[in-house]
Amino acid sequence: MPRASRDLACLVAVLVLPLVNCTTPDAVSKFCGSASTTLTSASVVFDDMKLSCLREVNSRDEFGTFKPPVQSDENCNAIGDQAVGAAAAAKVLSDYFSAINSLASFGTAKAGTNAQSLLSKTGAAVGASSSAQTALGSIEQFLVSAATSGYQRKQLEKDLPKVSANVSAVVSALITIVHDDYIDRQLGSEEQKLAVRYREFAKDKSPEIKLLLDDRWHADEQALASKRASAQSLITALKSLSKGFADLAANAHQLRAKEVSGLLGPYATQLQALIPQIQKGF
């Protein structure tokens, strides 16, 4: 193809969709693929919310009682509902980024059809009347549209700023759940109750028994520290994918196609590095 024709082709691509690079079309796809995988990985953190609660309940039993661990608890079940809602919210976002991945790669987006089912669960996590739930509803409408009519590239440019605000609202809600509800409240409470259990059992025990208990306490403490570190990695990843998408939405009209890779590349690389760290503690 003559150079003039190549330049014209690139210009048309920039005008139709500034975020799709005419020479490196995988820039958006790579970022969105990494974002989708990150959100899928978040399930291990949310799944541990109820499990942490159950571990705390079982830690109330003295050593040596040899009772089967409790599998259900009213308070833990409520935390489990919140965790299911958080995982559903992450899945809605993951499906959105998967749809954009498809859009960047193939020109049209086809999404799954279970967005409405997921939305029915998210209120338990983010609040039924919250801005995050409203944002999830807007994203769900996009996914339904993509599933029923096939979303086109030219529509994305118009919708990017609005969707970026929705993504930011949902990510902020998920970060609050991970940081406040899981790390600070749930893991913190589990750690505190576990320490009390060891201290009470160690009373009046021989030095040998105390050393064994100390070793076991450090092992349990390290396991909690690993879960906490993985949750912190998830928070870092959520901030990165939200910032990356916001930068894309804010700059799509200003960037030449080749500059998109430079904008999104560092975010995609960071997300890919964080995914195994999210999974490491579980």
Give the pLDDT score at 16: 35
Helical ranges in the chain per DSSP H: 3-16, 26-41, 43-58, 74-106, 115-126, 131-149, 153-176, 188-202, 207-251, 257-280
Examine the pLDDT at 175 and tell me if it is beyond 60. Answer: yes
- CA–CA gap between residue 127 and residue 136 (Å, rounded): 11
Query: What is the pTM (predicted TM-score) of this model?
Result: 0.85
> Between helices 153-176 and 131-149, what is the axis angle to 10°?
150
Q: What does pLDDT average to over the chain? A: 84
In this prediction, residue 8 has a pLDDT band, given cuts at 50, 70 and 90, of very low
Give the model confidence (pLDDT) of 88-145 as tens digits: 999 999 999 988 887 766 666 666 558 889 999 999 999 999 999 999 999 988 887 7
Over residues 11-15, mean pLDDT: 31
**Can you give the length of the chain in residues?**
282
- Report how far residue 97's alpha carbon sits from residue 142's, in angstroms, rounded to the nearest whole number: 11
For 24, the 3-state DSSP assignment is: coil
The DSSP secondary-structure symbol of 221 reads: H
**CB distance 112 to 93 below 8 Å:** no
Distance of alpha carbon 200 from alpha carbon 160, whole angstroms: 57
Q: Which residue has the tokens 């576990």?
A: 194
pLDDT tens string 27-45: 888 999 999 999 999 999 9
pLDDT at 115: 81
Which of 27-36, 73-82, 111-120, 226-235 is the least confident region? 111-120
Region 69-96 average pLDDT: 95
* pLDDT at residue number 154: 57
pLDDT computed for residue 11 by the predictor? 29
Say how many C-beta atoms besides its own lie within 10 A of residue 165's C-beta: 14
Calpha distance 131→14 (Å, rounded): 33
Spell out the residues 6+ positions from residue 19 whose beta carbon is closer than 8 angstroms to its own.
27, 28, 104, 156, 157, 160, 248, 252, 255, 260
How buried is residue 236: exposed, middle or buried, by Cβ count under 10 Å (0-12/13-18/19+)? middle
3-state secondary structure of 1: coil
**C-alpha–C-alpha distance, residues 79 and 74, integer Å:** 9
Q: How confident is the model at residue 20 (pLDDT cuts 50, 70, 90)?
A: very low
* pLDDT tens-digit readout, 191-217: 999 999 899 889 989 999 999 999 999
> How far is 120 from 184, CA to CA, in rounded Å?
27
